[in-house]
Structure 1
Amino acid sequence: MRPAPLNPLTRAASLRALARTSPATPLDVLVVGGGVTGAGIALDAASRGLSVGIVEAADWATGTSSRSSKLIHGGLRYLEMLDFPLVAEALKERDLLLTRIAPHLVKPVSFILPFENPLADRVYVGSGVTLYDVMSARVGQKRAVPTHRQLGAAQSQERFPGLAAPYGGIEYYDAQVDDARFTQALVRSAVGLGASAANYARVVDYLREDAPAADEAGAAGGGSDGARVTGARIRDEETGAEVSVHAHATILATGVWTGEQQAAADADTGLEVLASKGIHVTVPRDRIDAPARVGVITRTETSVLFIIPWGELWLIGTTDTPWREDVGLPLVTATDIDRVLEGANAVLERPLTREDVVGSFAGLRPLLQPVDGTGDSARVSREHAVLEVAPGLSAIAGGKFTTYRVMAADAVDFAVRSRFPRSRSRTEDLPLLGADGAQLSASRRSLVLANRDLRAHGWDEARLDRLLSRYGGRLADLFALIDAEPALACPLPGAEHCTAAEVVYAVRAEGALHLEDVLHRRLRLEFEVPDRGVAAAEVAARLVAPVLGWDEDRVAEEVARFTSVVDARLRAEAAETDAGAVEAVAAARPGGGQGRRVRRIARM
């Protein structure tokens, strides 16, 4: 796998490669949707040696895949539903990510589940978590995470002083990840294996040709009669230019936009996906007294609530409420924030208030509804399904972040089953870009800091550890930028926990094309700093301007656009209802093209 950068030059090259396809020389697979599922599909197909293209209407992971709980977990709650195969599958994927696929991005984290009943919970929950540990064991392999332990009241207080657990609790392990960065790493890994990838490349139509009387899709028993989908018409959202991309198989991995894309393809069958909103807030670490790598899980009336350590913050969520507004614009309301704080305060010694909230974000879970029974369907679990919605066009929906790789393999198996019946997924043994060099010993970290004189720029081992957990072996790329321009080692004004080099690297190697891409999905300032990145905006815009070819007017436009998006979200947080939040955002929109840009805030 070559260390493929994503930048304006490589994006343009990918668009040219996609445009060179033809009915005689189509891609093997075209993926529509740049969230974790679509990116996983692109990597899976490319690793099989297939020719692959992936397009995304906005930025990589703009939607659900940057707005999750950021957990990699087996799904402890599914044990209550007796769905043992689903839990076993997710636990296997969790451990693969921790040990082999992405140890630089996925890290263990423990959770304390406080008991509500001193005896019944200790027996009931204890037996469930014991089974959870047993199901994650692999013969002849070292455990990826420690086993659970039961805690008395005094032990719980010692382990997590800020937790109100008068009956004690149980501590068990799962893992966490920066979801947006993980998705971007999948895309880069796919490109490193030869895939063509373009963000801000929107499908405006689907290509079709008349199907023969008994085409291969019909022979397989699936799809509707009539025209076969043979690719898509793509519009470059940066230039307005359009190209036709031809493909033997086109796969929709568009989450809550699945229905929209099926309609665009005139599909006469399809997957039904509903949107459920989940929100998270962040609060400063010093507001809750606990160690750095221990969190809390508890139940609320409507969902499971997590208190998750996140650097110098706590990430708290989530809710589970229906979303009936534009799926491209999920928003956090005052009611949402109050609900999350209420759930957290039920188990914390020291109550949190609205004044403690640093940031927030909302995401939409794509909840899969039963397939209507028509067409050639492969229901591969109770969480996700693949369906041929038209000849040559399949869709995958449902699932969760942890099992993205299984979903990707199922989608590719299904889409190429006629042309490549013996093709098998290879991603179980394929580390992502940066997985090498994921760890450095304490002595090695000190040596790196000393040799590069980084302490003079405010670097310490904690900063180096943060960067290793974001870049792994590709941290060498940041050092190369700093060697060429030492000032890039300095903290980013307005977001001092970040470095200027990270801003530049976001556009040179990670595919960011706009200021919001850099600050919210590469640096995560949307929920890591109180002003959501506004203070850092102008400095960041000037850092990326030479790479993206921005003049002074474009710099000012990007800063104004970014500030407007942040202001709109802050206005929404003052509203009580989803409809009121949407109205507040609409009122905050300036004229001109900004309206379209705001509507893309949460595009997959």
Structure 2
Amino acid sequence: MSAQPAQQRSALTPASRTEHLARLRAATAEEPLDVLVVGGGVNGAGAAFDAATRGLSVGLVEARDWASGTSSRSSKLMHGGLRYLQMLDFKLVAEALRERDLLIERTAPHLVKPIKFVFPFFKKVIDRGFIGSGVMLYDAMQSVGRKRAVPFHRHLLHAKMLEVFPALDGDKAVGALEYYDAQMDDARFVMMLVRSAAQHDAAVANYTSVVGYLHEGPRVVGARVRDEETGEEFEVHARETILAGGVWTQEQQELAGADAGLEVLASKGIHVTVARDRIPAVPDTGIITQTEKSVLFIIPWDEYWVIGTTDTPWDQDVAHPAATSSDIDYVLEQANAILAQDLGREDVIGVYTGLRPLLQPVKKKGEKSSKVSREHTVMEVEPGLSAIAGGKFTTYRVMAEDVVDFAIRDIEPNRPSLTRTVPVIGAQGYAALVRDKAALAARYGFDEIRMDRLLFRYGALLTEVLALIDEDAELGTPLEHAPRYLRAEVLYAVRAEGARHLADVLQRRTRTDYETRDRGADAAAEVAALIAAELGWDSAAQEREVRTYRDFIAARLAGEQTADDAAAAAAVAAAPEVPLRG
């Protein structure tokens, strides 16, 4: 156990990464880690947090940045999955609702907050009966054996529907139902899980890829990893290894030489963002409706809307998911089908694309990926190597508990999970900050919108960001080309949140890639200048980071003009997100 205070251990600084790598390097065959987790998305971060809170020695490695794959490209909802009731997947929905409520009420109230949705009816009798009965069941599942975390649903007649969401096309929608779920910032949530694992003494390192698995006979006893920042390779020994690779699961299983394993289907989902004033509605109220191919969400997020999603098979390189022009047009078309005023391509501020890692069952010919169950599976793919896949973001904690239970069943069977009660970092002290937010806002000159935004991003850790402003008042000013964010937030991303490159800050610690029309390109130079000294960049390295990021954005924009997945993936693959080593 590290001698550092817990709060200090959680800070993912450039120096702490060096120390964490040293601890991983020190995991030898004679003194192995209890658990090594491969993959820094929500499932891997959740597993590391779960294992560390049990008092196990834990390592967590991620080939790129935390949440740089699927876990930063979701609909940003913590929800029960209302549509899975149609598939009669009652177990998954009930489990997800329990987990959502646990996050809101106990373990992550600073990162997960309730959000109201309107579900419009287009066939007065049929929809009100069918959708109404589904939401009634959805609500009933939330009331079994526990206090409700969100309000009960209500039916809206035509006039009330337009009062709540005036942007709806009143000639098409004949009424609606209003119900509640929850939302979060997916990339920040994962980063906070990683920091929570580090707080409990896990050794964590991003930009550290697995290049091979270690064997003693048929048993996996760890992995050979490469520090992608330096090129150094070394061995990390572990009693048990957990693979949480998402859409990279099969690639990693093959690297391990596994004879059996999980098959994962990659399904592409895209989202677009538009300005808040383009779709008038009551604050914190979104839309959900079903389309022919997927589900349409129109989700309020800060000062804009997130609209999605698609659900189409992805057969290209999973490292380069990309939106096509037709994907964007499809999302806009589905939104325009229910809105009174059409949105056009000129309204699109940003676009992001993710790949859902769905378990591949035996499928009938012609069956679509949207019908694949989201329930997760844990499997021993080789002795000493357990893999997990499937599930949904909301149930990450259950998935983490299951895979850790499974992995340590023979070596530490009496170490139960504690994550039902151990909060994610930033939760403790959050309620007091909320009570004092008016005084804090006045002290630092923040308006209510910025104060709420900061609390939702940092929780109780906001005091650490404010401490930077106390040391240097200039850090309390907004970025020139991304004014939603303070200069202090950029510095904090490197000093405490594990950012290693410019893209980490612009893509995941902040979300300028889909909050600004230039996708963060205009803010790149200012941000790079703020963090260069922290990361030891000289002027050449700083310029290379800016150039690489701008080229990456240009490649994504080019991909969004293409007609098919192959062309879009090729466009995106042409420009890396971060500078290549050497």
Relative to the length of structure 2, the TM-score reads: 0.94
- Which secondary structure state, in structure 2, belongs to the residue aligned with residue 60 of structure 1? coil
Given residue 355 of structure 1, which amino acid in structure 2 is its aligned partner? E
Given residue 410 of structure 2, which amino acid in structure 1 is its aligned partner? S
Residue 125 (structure 1) shift: 1.2
**Which residue number in structure 2 is paired with residue 288 of structure 1?**
279
- Preserved contact between residue 271 and residue 371 of structure 1 (Cα < 8 Å): no
- Which secondary structure state, in structure 2, belongs to the residue aligned with residue 295 of structure 1? strand
**Which residue number in structure 1 is paired with residue 368 of structure 2?**
none
Deviation sequence 1:575-600 (CA, Å, 0-9, x none): 111112123335x54xxxx598589x
**Which residue number in structure 1 is paired with residue 175 of structure 2?**
168
Instruction: Could you tell me which runs of 5 or more consecutive residues in structure 2 were left unpaired when the two chains were aligned.
Output: 1-5, 364-372
- Which secondary structure state, in structure 2, belongs to the residue aligned with residue 497 of structure 1? coil
Residue 51 (structure 1) shift: 0.5
Residue 257 (structure 1) shift: 0.2
Q: How does 1:7-156 map to 2 (within 5 A)?
A: 7-139=13-145, 141-156=146-161
- Preserved contact between residue 439 and residue 468 of structure 1 (Cα < 8 Å): no
Given residue 572 of structure 2, which amino acid in structure 1 is its aligned partner? V
- Which secondary structure state, in structure 1, belongs to the residue aligned with residue 210 of structure 2? strand
**Which residue number in structure 2 is paired with residue 206 of structure 1?**
213
Q: How does 1:332-347 map to 2 (within 5 A)?
A: 332-347=323-338
Q: How does 1:154-233 map to 2 (within 5 A)?
A: 154-165=159-170, 166-210=173-217, 227-233=218-224
**Which residue number in structure 1 is paired with residue 557 of structure 2?**
570
Q: Are 1:518 and 2:505 an aligned pair?
A: yes
Residue 443 (structure 1) shift: 7.2
Q: Are 1:267 and 2:254 an aligned pair?
A: no
- Which secondary structure state, in structure 2, belongs to the residue aligned with residue 534 of structure 1? coil
Deviation sequence 1:250-298 (CA, Å, 0-9, x none): 0100000000000000000000001000000000000001122000001
Q: Are 1:395 and 2:401 an aligned pair?
A: no
- Which secondary structure state, in structure 1, belongs to the residue aligned with residue 523 of structure 2? helix
- Preserved contact between residue 545 and residue 579 of structure 2 (Cα < 8 Å): no
Residue 439 (structure 1) shift: 4.2
- Preserved contact between residue 272 and residue 371 of structure 1 (Cα < 8 Å): no
Distance 2:268 2:65 in 1: 20
- Which secondary structure state, in structure 2, belongs to the residue aligned with residue 2 of structure 1? helix
**Which residue number in structure 2 is paired with residue 602 of structure 1?**
none
CA shift in 2, pair 1:32/1:441, >3 Å: closer
**Which residue number in structure 1 is paired with residue 403 of structure 2?**
411
Residue 126 (structure 1) shift: 1.0
Deviation sequence 1:186-229 (CA, Å, 0-9, x none): 0000000010000000101111112xxxxxxxxxxxxxxxx211
Relative to the length of structure 1, the TM-score reads: 0.91
Residue 422 (structure 1) shift: 2.3
Q: How does 1:559-598 map to 2 (within 5 A)?
A: 559-586=546-573, 589=575, 594=576
**Which residue number in structure 2 is paired with residue 224 of structure 1?**
none
Q: How does 1:303-382 map to 2 (within 5 A)?
A: 303-370=294-361
- Preserved contact between residue 29 and residue 247 of structure 1 (Cα < 8 Å): yes
- Which secondary structure state, in structure 2, belongs to the residue aligned with residue 298 of structure 1? strand
Distance 2:165 2:26 in 1: 58
Structure 1 stretches (4+) deviating beyond 4 angstroms? 439-443, 594-599
**Which residue number in structure 2 is paired with residue 378 of structure 1?**
none
**Which residue number in structure 2 is paired with residue 250 of structure 1?**
241
Residue 80 (structure 1) shift: 1.7
Bigger mean CA offset, 162-171 vs 397-406: 162-171
- Which secondary structure state, in structure 2, belongs to the residue aligned with residue 405 of structure 1? helix
Residue 449 (structure 1) shift: 2.7
Distance 1:444 1:397 in 2: 42
Distance 1:203 1:484 in 2: 40
Given residue 307 of structure 1, which amino acid in structure 2 is its aligned partner? I
Instruction: Could you tell me which runs of 5 or more consecutive residues in structure 1 were left unpaired when the two chains were aligned.
Output: 211-226, 373-380, 600-604
Residue of structure 2 aligned with 1:538, choices 498, 519, 525: 525
Distance 2:144 2:102 in 1: 11
Bigger mean CA offset, 359-368 vs 127-136: 127-136
- Which secondary structure state, in structure 2, belongs to the residue aligned with residue 355 of structure 1? helix
Residue 520 (structure 1) shift: 0.7
Task: Using the aligned pairs only, state the percent identity.
Answer: 59
Distance 1:265 1:441 in 2: 47
- Preserved contact between residue 41 and residue 71 of structure 2 (Cα < 8 Å): yes
Q: What number of residue pairs does the alignment pair up? A: 564
Distance 2:569 2:374 in 1: 33
Deviation sequence 1:25-72 (CA, Å, 0-9, x none): 110100000000000000000011110000000000000000011111
